[in-house]
Chain A
């Protein structure tokens, strides 16, 4: 009999200019990272509205990670600085509501950091898997 092993569902928002290219590089270099990580490409990390993150959780994500260019390297000059402020406030608020703070993360990954991308995703997937299923943020109506 086959046992359904728990696999976390992770949504990664990656900016088009740095982190998405970083993910590409990780692939080109044959670096492993979990297949549970679903990448969504965004034009800039600051395109990510707090609602995107919350809705990902509502629809069943167990962890959400947001990757962008390193501060100072934004393709649009300052997008990631705004992201940094927004996410600091949002994550602090999620923590205030009693939601596990390990489920959300912001990481700066440049286009040259394929290794860092793979490493970050491996680490994040491990952390989220250890936390188990996302019960506090899910919406049963969205369950498949």
Chain B
């Protein structure tokens, strides 16, 4: 259950709309099912009162939406940011992707969002999902009620939450948290300890499921090029014809590489993947390598920091040594 109530967000949004601070509000609204919460843009207090949703499925990160939305009007737009969203927000500001003056950012605390995939795989014919704090009650059409532990339904990104602290906001609702000591690299280390053959089999199995829907690219707050390399018909990765080819790996390596050093590890790629591929493990590998080769760096922790991939020192590790170092680790 989210600590902060829906009413607090709704009142804040209505207040800011009425006093003219903003004229548009980014929020979430209900989709077809309880767990299908979709991002929406509200323009009237009435719509917000009726349709605004805040709960365990409001995972969408609005930072990227600001790029287009701030270009549409001179007035401010209100955006609600969870702690992990604020890192993306800062990163986009660092890259001058939107005008800070046209945004009114309200920080909201987050208790971790639920994983839609885990909910759907634990029950069939879901009619309602209610969260009582520690337990989640899933009402189904045929099997009655199922009660599950909330922790079991958290996605990986929330289980290994890196920070409850908002790094950017105009106003904060509720209490601010702290940067956490997460175990987010544990799974990467587990993979690193496998033999190359096992690793290859693991990724072959995961990535061959990719249907090249580009959802990971479209949702990623770091992927903001107006013209994407993957839209080039000559890129060699634009189609999906066979499942066991290198093409998938190439797509995913390049996707992760293009955001290396700028990825804030918000985990949106894995959240939206319809095939449940653990894409964050690729991004985290880059983050882990950057941390160990070039010193710890958290993208988006502050505005204006220089990403390690566009920087250098004369004493950097040689590529050959970097690979051997993995071997010894």
Are A and B physically bound partners?
A: yes
Interface membership of A32, Cβ < 8 A: no
* Bound-complex Cα distance A115 to B253 (A): 35
- The number of residues on chain B lying at the interface, defined by a beta carbon within 8 Å of a beta carbon of chain A, is 49
B8 on interface, CB distance cutoff 8 Å: no
Query: Per a CB cutoff under 8 Å, which of A57, A59, A81, A89 touches B314?
Result: A81
Q: Is the interface of A mostly helix, strand, loop or mixed?
A: helix
A141 to B260, CA, bound (A): 29
Cα A9 to Cα B188 in complex, Å, equals: 32
Q: Which residues of B contact A85 (CB under 8 A)?
A: 293-294, 308-309, 311-312, 316
Which of chain B's residues have a CB closer than 8 A to the CB of A97?
A: 199-200, 203, 249, 253
Residue of B188, B197, B229, B309 near A98 (CB, 8 A) is B197
B319 and A88 within 8 A (CB)? yes
Is A91 in contact with B254, judged by CB distance below 8 angstroms?
A: no
Q: DSSP majority for the B interface? A: helix
* B322: Cβ under 8 A from any A Cβ: yes
Q: Indicate which residue in B229, B246, B314 contacts A138 across the interface (CB closer than 8 Å).
A: B246
Contact B316 A88 (CB under 8 A): yes
Name the residue in B254, B317, B319 with the highest tally of chain A Cβ atoms < 10 Å from its Cβ.
B319
A116 at the interface (CB under 8 A from B): no
Q: What distance in Å separates the Cβ of A47 from its nearest Cβ neighbour in chain B? A: 15
Question: When chains A and B are docked, how far (Å) is the Cα of A28 from the Cα of B204?
Answer: 45
Report the separation of the CA atoms of residues A72 and B256 in the bound assembly, to the nearest whole angstrom. 29
Q: Is the CB of A106 within 8 A of B318?
A: yes
Q: Which of B14-22, B57-65, B118-126, B284-292 contacts A (4 or more CB under 8 A)?
A: B284-292
Closest to B285 in A: A96
Asked if B250 is at the interface of the complex by the 8 Å CB criterion, the answer is yes
Judge whether A99 is part of the interface by a CB distance below 8 angstroms: yes
Residues of chain B whose beta carbon lies under 8 Å from any beta carbon of chain A? 188, 191-192, 196-203, 229, 235-236, 241-242, 245-247, 249-250, 253-254, 256-257, 260, 282, 285-286, 289-290, 293-294, 308-314, 316-320, 322-323, 326-327
- In the complex, the 5 A-B pairs of residues with the closest C-beta atoms, listed nearest first: A98-B200, A98-B199, A81-B312, A88-B322, A87-B319
